[in-house]
A and B are shown apart, each in its own frame.
Chain A
Amino acid sequence: MIDNDVIKYVDFFRKLIDKSSSFGFKESEVFFEDEYSSGIQVLHGEVSSYESSKVNGISFRGKVDEQMGYAHSESFTDDAIDFLLEKALANSKILEPEQPERIATPASNYPSANNYNPKLSELSFSDFESIVLNIEKSLLAYDSRIKGVDHLSIGYGDSSCIIINSKGLDCRSRSNMVSVYAGVRAADNDVTKTGYALWIGRDLDTFDPEAFVKEAANDCLSKLGAVSVKSGKYDVVLAPRAATDLLASFAGIFSADAIQKGFSMLGGKVSQRIASEAVTIVDEGICSLAYISNSFDSEGVPTQSKHIIRNGVLESVLHNMQSAEKDCVQSSGNGFRGGYKSPISIWPTNFYIKPGAIDDEVLMGSVNSGIYITDLSGLHAGTNAISGDFSLLCEGFRIESGKITFPVDQITVAGNFYNVMENIAWVGNRLHFDPPSSSGSMGSPALMLPQMPIAGEG
């Protein structure tokens, strides 16, 4: 499955690992990523930009005297071998982790994942052009209030990962994907609003341009005429997309490393109730509901499917090999890297709140006076992952007598994630998944948070 022009690098990895013993390394590992991508952007009825790339890089890590050293390179020359070994050796002398790091022995079994569709790799720029040019036309014709499609793009990515170590481990994976994004701007009575739609998939036959155009247009148009509301406490329903954003900002608290270092307040909480009974969270390496499945993590450990929270009770946390050894347990297969430039960290695979059984519309009907929040902004700044506090700009709709009445903007919602988990009154039945990133893929249904402080007018 892995391309021949990628496999040719394996010789370089073997040479590097072989030479590492002469530098004193007792164990060593190579982590390699290769990515091909191409895409186009459309603006004002023509393709405004094309982009295409082929890049790769390698991380070497090796152990001398129980100490691990790291170095990375985007160059694959003989000089690079010496650079990697010299730097990793020097770095190993400074590193002083509380718990020594280890290199994985190969597992007997890895779950199987299929993330590659060979048909996708045959698509050309001209296939892409017709799709997005038509989307722009349809969006501009959709409603006279739509003034521009400022960002419209389609992109293809094909990435491979290889991990080889001195203990005989050899893990390889490949995935590809197409994404379509449209950012729309609409104006009415001198007020401008923006909205977007994003589609990700591995089979373009399942892409429905009409539904996509409708989603992007409505995301924007429905916000026109928005007003602020009076400051006070409101029942808040977080739409699936907004709920996922909030979960993603705080998923780090479930990392064993964060718990061990005191950066999460979940220490000693396993088997205890930390959320309302409506909340069940799972982390699934292989997940048919999400965009990508992983059969192994960045240490070469097989991924698992596990409950993190079951009916409000914390059942397990996420481990890599290092944190697991400290807690005298097995790694949960969550030792991921943000890429070859990053050290091993702990990230979820497909991490999501399980949807409930009752329709969102039925549940919404029970909200007497509240706010339906569709978008949360500034999550990188307005959330404190350590304290759990958040205070965020949001947009959405007023809910009155169980019905959505008018759009709302220029308000903030504030709270604390730990308290929010305890107070979730119900979860919806429609699950949203965020696109995968180096920090895992998150998903959530709608969440109802009673009596949240909203700041708006006066």
Chain B
Amino acid sequence: MLSQLTIERILCAALLYAGDFAEIYIESTRSNSLSAINRRIENVSSGIDFGVGIRVMDGVRSVYVYANSTDENVLIKMAKDASASLHSNKCSVAVPLSAIRQYSTSAPVFLPDSRPDALKADLLRQACDIASQYDARITQTGAGYSDLSRDIIIANSEGLYVSDHRVRTRFSVEAVATKGNEKQTGRHSPGAGKGLEFIDEMDLNFLATDAARMAVTMIEAKPCPSGRYPVVIGNAFGGVIFHEACGHALEATSVGIDASVFAGKVGEKIASDCVTAVDDPTMLYEWGSYSIDDEGVEPIANTLIDNGILKSYMIDRLGSRRMNMASTGSGRRQNYRYCPTSRMSNTFIAAGKETPEQIISDTEYGIYASSMGGGSVDPATGEFNFSVNEAYLIQGGKVTIPLRGATLIGKGDDVLMTIDRVADDLKLAQGVCGSISGHVPASIGQPTIRVSQMTVGGVDA
């Protein structure tokens, strides 16, 4: 890493010709990953990433330069070039750095490198074995383990000087069921902001068995009917609906340039009364948590929607300048190769008071999407789509036959208004969210909810 003196010199250089704000982000990351297919260890890799990103801002204009060099001369030249490219007459001076403030998002009990990889490999084989023994129709299995240990330093021309230590661990298991010419998959991939204690605490038996159960259930499933139906969406990964359809459109990235359906609507009703939604990076050791964001700002538990009323957006430094609102500590980036922007962390719909059973028994005919896949959204139009990994038909208030090949589509602003039931079984699930500042770990979640009417795309037209 770089010395305080070097960092101060770089910040001065970054404001030499123009700019009202300069920031440096220094990152060093060690990572390991292992994967197995059919219990055979196919890939093992380890690496060191190192890099430095320098940003200079002038109002809402900015320059971002990055390199993986530790050479002070190279970095100072980059900083000067960045400053010069802004072509502005406005100049400012960097405030001397305060004493470094050290944060630690993670407090791993066991560091990723504290156990030999052979033990992690055993765990992958075990997962494959459990999944393949579940049923004769399971023909392929896969498992993966990955960890990351990252140290960052952020300093800026306002005197901020902070560091953070982040450790994340993730495990995945996948099962493929075959019947004739057809294949269906089931998968779980939990993760946490923890060290190896995460794999000690996880229920390997449940994860592998349930992935296999999902694959076998889906191989026997009927094609999903298409049309407009009431849809009951299960908890945990079901939160992808809120993440895609509403979360992205509440980020300053789109709100700040008026390219969101929710721009300028704070205080207005944008969802039905039963919807309260939160983005909370402060949850202890959760997958999408952090003690400081990638701009060095301490985050807050941010209530986005309170009983249907829009309360807040997710705002980074640039968004804060564009929107004239304070940062919510939502500036995130995949690594030093990305300029930070506003992103979600752990984003979920809060628990209601009903039970999932009540909601289903009150639904005469519809679709129960018990496990969701991924999706995408156009924040400008609010149009979203997401796939359903495991779905069932609801008939006469009862969950009946399994359905496959279902896709849910709609518009974010419509769907928020048509959520008519919210259960009490809130649960989070872990994923990776991609946007203009790269792929960041994000948790999504919700209790079981019902949308009164939704377009369901299926094979059975």
Contacts and interface: CB of A to CB of B under 8 A. Distances in A.
Interface string B250-280: 0000100111010000000000000000000
B404 to A, nearest CB: 7
A283 interface: no
Interface in A98-137: 98, 125
Contacts of A55: 51, 66-68, 337
B65 A51 contact: yes
Contacts of B62: 48-50
Nearest to B374: A381
A91 B385 contact: no
Nearest to A52: B65
Interface in A428-458: 453-458
Interface stretch (B33-41, B158-166, B308-316): B33-41
B459 A453 contact: yes
Nearest to A228: B455
A43 B337 CA distance: 22
Interface string B25-46: 0000000001001101111111
Interface stretch (A240-248, A284-292, A385-393): A385-393
Contacts of A91: 44-46, 117
A94 B373 contact: no
A249 interface: no
A236 B178 CA distance: 29
Contact of A410 (B49, B65, B410): B410
Give the interface SS of chain B, mostly helix, strand, loop or mixed: strand
A374 to B, nearest CB: 14
B385 to A, nearest CB: 3
A49 B256 CA distance: 15
A414 interface: yes
Nearest to A125: B85
Given A389-B404, A410-B409, A231 B46 contact: no
B378 interface: yes
A225 interface: no
A402 interface: no
Contact of B387 (A69, A262, A378, A411): A378
Interface string B54-75: 0000001111111111100000
B283 to A, nearest CB: 25
A455 B176 contact: no
Interface residues of B, number: 81
A193 B381 contact: yes
Contacts of B118: 93-94
Given A414-B405, A455-B457, A387 B381 contact: no
A384 B374 CA distance: 11
Contact of A53 (B42, B47, B67, B140): B67
A195 B47 CA distance: 39
B50 interface: yes
B257 A150 contact: yes
A380 B455 CA distance: 20
Give the interface SS of chain A, mostly helix, strand, loop or mixed: strand
A48 B61 contact: yes
A382 B461 contact: no
A159 interface: no
A96 B184 CA distance: 26
Given A52-B65, A91-B117, A387-B185, A414 B404 contact: no
B61 A46 contact: yes
Contact of A96 (B41, B456, B461): B41
Interface in B95-154: 116-118, 121, 139-140
B352 interface: no
Contact of A185 (B69, B380, B459): B380
A2 interface: no
B48 A73 contact: yes
Contact of B38 (A231, A261, A458): A261
B461 A455 contact: yes
Contact of B60 (A48, A56, A87): A48
A380 B376 contact: yes
A12 interface: no
A341 B259 contact: no
A381 B65 contact: no
A80 interface: yes
A394 to B, nearest CB: 9
A387 B459 CA distance: 14
Interface of A: 43, 46-57, 69-75, 80, 83, 87, 90-91, 93-98, 125, 148, 150, 185, 192-194, 228, 231-233, 261-263, 265, 341-343, 377-378, 380-382, 384, 386-387, 389, 391-393, 409-416, 418, 453-458
Identify the 6 closest CB pairs spanning chains A and B, nearest first.
A412-B457, A455-B226, A381-B374, A393-B385, A453-B461, A391-B407
Given A46-B61, A381-B387, 18 more contacts: A52-B64, A53-B337, A55-B51, A70-B44, A71-B47, A73-B47, A75-B70, A95-B41, A194-B378, A263-B140, A265-B183, A343-B45, A382-B373, A387-B185, A391-B407, A414-B457, A457-B228, A457-B455
